[in-house]
Amino acid sequence: MWARIAEWVLGTWLILSHFLFSTQNTSDLVAAFFILLLATLSFFNKLNKMHLLEVFPAGWLFYIGYSFPTPWLPFSMQNYILTALSILMFSVIPSNASDHPRPWKRFFKPYELK
């Protein structure tokens, strides 16, 4: 679940950076809302794969950053690109990445202390 917490930090950073860089574009707030929502939903066992859908808001931020018309990018667009790349990196990490593999769990099941 550590990757979901990192996504929470990145979503919070997107909200704060909207006011820090004083952008007129609200795409970062919408993307941050979806990232926070999907990271939160991933904490539930039935919805633990929802973090994979974070690829879409991250891709949208990446597209906005790279489609800026001038070769010099303002800080807000650079922020979009770097945050999107970070979210793409964390979104593919499974929710139970720090847990033992299933074959190990099956092997050690009879030896658990009760």
pLDDT confidence of residue 57 = 95
Joined tokens for residue 41: 């939903």
Q: What digits encode the pLDDT tens for the residues 2-14?
A: 888 999 999 999 9
- What confidence category does residue 19 fall into, taking pLDDT thresholds of 50, 70 and 90? very high
- At 8, the amino acid letter reads W
Please say if the pLDDT value at position 60 is more than 90: yes
Closest listed residue to residue 37, CA positions, set 21, 55, 50, 56: 50
What's the rounded Cα separation, in Å, for the pair 13 and 10? Answer: 5
What's the rounded Cα separation, in Å, for the pair 92 and 67? Answer: 25
Please say if the pLDDT value at position 33 is more than 90: yes
E strands present in 54-100: none
| Count of CA atoms in the C-beta half-sphere (13 A) of 5 | 4
Q: What digits encode the pLDDT tens for the residues 70-87?
A: 888 889 899 999 999 999
